[in-house]
């Protein structure tokens, strides 16, 4: 069965989080210029594009990305459509029949123009991470740049996820994923000591 690719392309013309390092991909060598090979150099913030946050991103004593349990990032996942909602409450998720899987992906529709960084996106109520964790959820993903607001400095939703042992995926591309149950594969790179990592995130429909 074919995959649905829920990864944003890493492109130098996609704006990063304000103030963060952009995607820089340069050709260090080109066959067309007489080299034996084409050779690319890549420079990134680990929060560019579709990525996993490591708990170390928001907790000095948190797990770094090379230490996170890989089985969290592979397995059944539910996609729900929360487009048009400013806040995501327990009641909203219940009304959508969530959660039915250990991974919950929120289609917010908040970042629709790739060359324009969004200013607002739907935010979880602070009791949602613990409520989801009690129901077996280990990963929350969304198609917005963060689980917290752009201007947040105290990152209450990141911390609520951390306290509930819920891992976070950000900047997914869920336009082609209708609500339903899938297998998610979204493994981070083994970057020693890092606070996050790009992922290649795909869904496979579960019949
Ligand atoms: N995707 C990130 C963005 C982030 O937190 C961030 C990235 C660069 C510089 C500052 C950041 N966050 C808070 O001040 C996140 O919410 O995890
Ligand atoms: Zn992040
Ligand atoms: Zn984050």
pLDDT, mean of residues 146-153: 98
- What interface predicted TM-score (ipTM) does this complex get? 0.95
Closest Cα partner for 78 from 102, 53, 109? 102
Helix (H, G, I), strand (E, B) or coil at 105: strand
Parallel, antiparallel, or unpaired for β 196-205 and 167-170?
unpaired
DSSP 164: T
Pocket of ligand 1 (CB under 6 A): 17, 19-20, 47, 53, 57, 145-146, 148, 170
**Ligand 1 atom having least distance to the Cα of 170:** 1
Question: Domain map of the chain by residue range?
Answer: 4-205
Average predicted confidence (pLDDT) for the chain:
97
**What secondary structure letter does DSSP report for 53?**
E
What pLDDT was estimated at residue 33? 98
pLDDT digits (tens, 9 = 90+) for 13-38: 999 999 999 999 999 999 999 999 99
User: Residue 55, preceding bond cis, omega within 30 degrees?
Assistant: no
131 CA to middle of ligand 2, Å? 22
pLDDT tens, 164-203?
999 999 999 999 999 999 999 999 999 999 999 999 999 9
- Which one of the ligands is nearest to 161 CA? 3
Expressed in angstroms and rounded, the spacing between residue 148 Cα and the centre of ligand 2 is 10
Nearest residue by C-alpha to atom 9 in ligand 1: 20
In the chain, what percentage of residues exceed pLDDT 90? 99
d(CA 84, CA 27): 41
Strands (E), 45-90: 51-53, 74-81, 87-88
Ordered alpha helix ranges (H), 106-191: 128-134, 156-163
| Residue 42 β-bridge partners | 25
Residues whose beta carbons lie less than 5 angstroms from ion ligand 3: 53, 146
8 Å CB contact between 46 and 191: yes
| Catalytic residue list contains 163 | no
Can you read off the two tokens belonging to residue 32? 């067309």
81 known ligand binder: no
Question: Distance between CA 168 and CA 147 in Å, rounded?
Answer: 8
Q: Is 159 annotated in some ligand binding site? A: no
- The CATH code of domain 4-205 reads 3.50.30.50
The rounded radius of gyration (Å) of the Cα atoms in the chain is 17
CA of 111 to the centre of ligand 1 (A): 16
- Give the distance from CA 61 to its chain's centroid: 21
pLDDT at 1: 62
* pLDDT for res 31: 98
């Amino acid at each position: 069965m074919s995959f649905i690719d829920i990864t944003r392309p890493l492109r130098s013309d996609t704006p990063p989080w304000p103030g963060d390092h952009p995607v820089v991909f340069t050709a260090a060598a080109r066959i067309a210029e007489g080299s034996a090979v084409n050779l690319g150099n890549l420079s990134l913030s680990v929060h560019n594009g579709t990525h996993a946050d490591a708990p170390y991103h928001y907790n000095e004593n948190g797990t770094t990305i090379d230490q996170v349990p890989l089985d969290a990032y592979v397995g059944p996942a539910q996609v729900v459509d929360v487009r048009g909602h400013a806040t995501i409450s327990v009641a909203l998720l219940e009304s959508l029949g969530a959660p039915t899987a250990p991974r919950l992906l929120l289609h917010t529709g908040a970042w629709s123009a790739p060359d324009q960084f969004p200013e607002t996106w739907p935010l979880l109520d602070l009791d949602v991470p613990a409520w989801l964790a009690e129901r077996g959820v280990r990963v929350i993903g969304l198609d917005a740049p963060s689980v917290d607001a752009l201007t947040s400095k105290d990152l209450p939703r990141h911390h609520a996820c951390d306290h509930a042992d819920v891992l976070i995926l950000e900047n997914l591309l869920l336009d082609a994923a209708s609500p339903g149950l899938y297998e998610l594969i979204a493994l981070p790179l083994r970057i020693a000591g890092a606070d996050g990592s790009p992922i290649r995130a795909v869904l496979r429909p579960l019949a």
